[in-house]
Amino acid sequence: MGPFFVVLLVLILILIVANIKIVPQAHEFVIELLGKYRTTWSAGLHIKIPLLERVSKRVTLKEQVLDSPPQPVITKDNVTMQIDTVIYYAIYDAKLYAYGAVNPVSALANLAATTLRNLVGELELDGTLTSRDTINAKMTEILDEATDKWGIKVHRVELRNIIPPAEIQNAMEKQMKAERDRRETMLQAEGHKAASITRAEGEKQAMILAAEGERDARIARAEGEARAIFLSKKAEADGLRELKEAGADAAILELKKYEALVAMANGKASKIIVPTDAVEMTKANVLFSETTGLGDVTPEAPEEPKKVKEDPCCD
């Protein structure tokens, strides 16, 4: 074996080793043969044809982040503000990414800027500040559809900062302060209202309870008075019934009536007119009683003891 053959063998080995390629995980290599697309290598060990094939593009399939700088955007009510976006995307087709656009990432950033201007230009300032989710969803949909031919999949778009002009910020701060003051005033007014209602309800309940107590007291007094009158009349009726059962005549009953009239006068200056026939009846009744001795309950006086004469013989 001559030296030339040895040198040639060494060169062939070096050439073969140099053309052994290892594609890492989550990567793809675009291979061209004589300047024309031939294939796409996925992760693993590959050997390319020396001098004929070359790696045209090394592409990562991982999700990437495109951070766009703040850019001026004019709203529908002619307010200029600075908005910066963050785009999360991934390459799903290495061939489309290699041959779809000269610089797909730059194209994506420019497309995001123009799309953002179009969307914000249809909204007013307040709508822009409160419609982040809507803008994010619309931008994601538009960018994902536009970058399909570049082999790029846009997962989501986020508006990171919305910076209005300084005078707008001052006006917004004043508005927010006024709104907070208004809410504080409303809360205080509602608190005073609730306290007044509570006090009124308490006073109402107290008055109702007092009225119910007064009513119950009056009812109790009225029942007591009615009971007293009932017992008094019952006692009077019982007394008259006993007099009648004892044989009292009409004159005595009349006297009882007049006694009741005197009791009703209760010591006040009152005139009591007694009919003549009643007086005559009373006198006759008294005379009859004295004559017959009926009704006389005065005991007779005891007789005086007789004096015993002294015996002179015993002196």
Low-confidence ranges of the chain (pLDDT < 50): 286-299, 301, 308, 312-315
Element (H, E) at 90: strand 80-91
| pLDDT at res. 263 | 62
How far is it, in rounded angstroms, from Cα 190 to Cα 263?
67
Retrieve residue 176's tokens.
Answer: 């927010």
> Interhelix angle for 104-120 vs 132-146, to 10°?
140
| pLDDT at res. 181 | 86
Beta bridge partners of 119: none
Mode of pairing for the β-strands spanning 64-67 and 80-91: antiparallel
Residue type, 55: V
Q: Which residue has the tokens 């508005």?
A: 175
Residue type, 241: R
| pLDDT at res. 298 | 46
| pLDDT at res. 250 | 61
How far is it, in rounded angstroms, from Cα 156 to Cα 301?
137
**Is the whole-model pTM more than 0.85?**
no
Tell me the pLDDT tens digit for each residue of 55-93.
Answer: 888 999 999 999 888 888 888 888 888 898 999 999 999
SS3 content of the chain, % helix, strand, coil (to 5): 55, 20, 25
Beta bridge partners of 197: none
| pLDDT at res. 272 | 54
| pLDDT at res. 315 | 44
| pLDDT at res. 137 | 92
The CATH code of the domain at 64-164 is 3.30.479.30
Residue ranges, CATH 3.30.479.30, the chain: 64-164
| pLDDT at res. 184 | 87
CA triplet 97, 102, 103: central angle to 5 degrees? 75
Tell me the pLDDT tens digit for each residue of 203-250.
Answer: 889 899 889 888 888 898 888 888 888 888 788 777 767 766 766 556
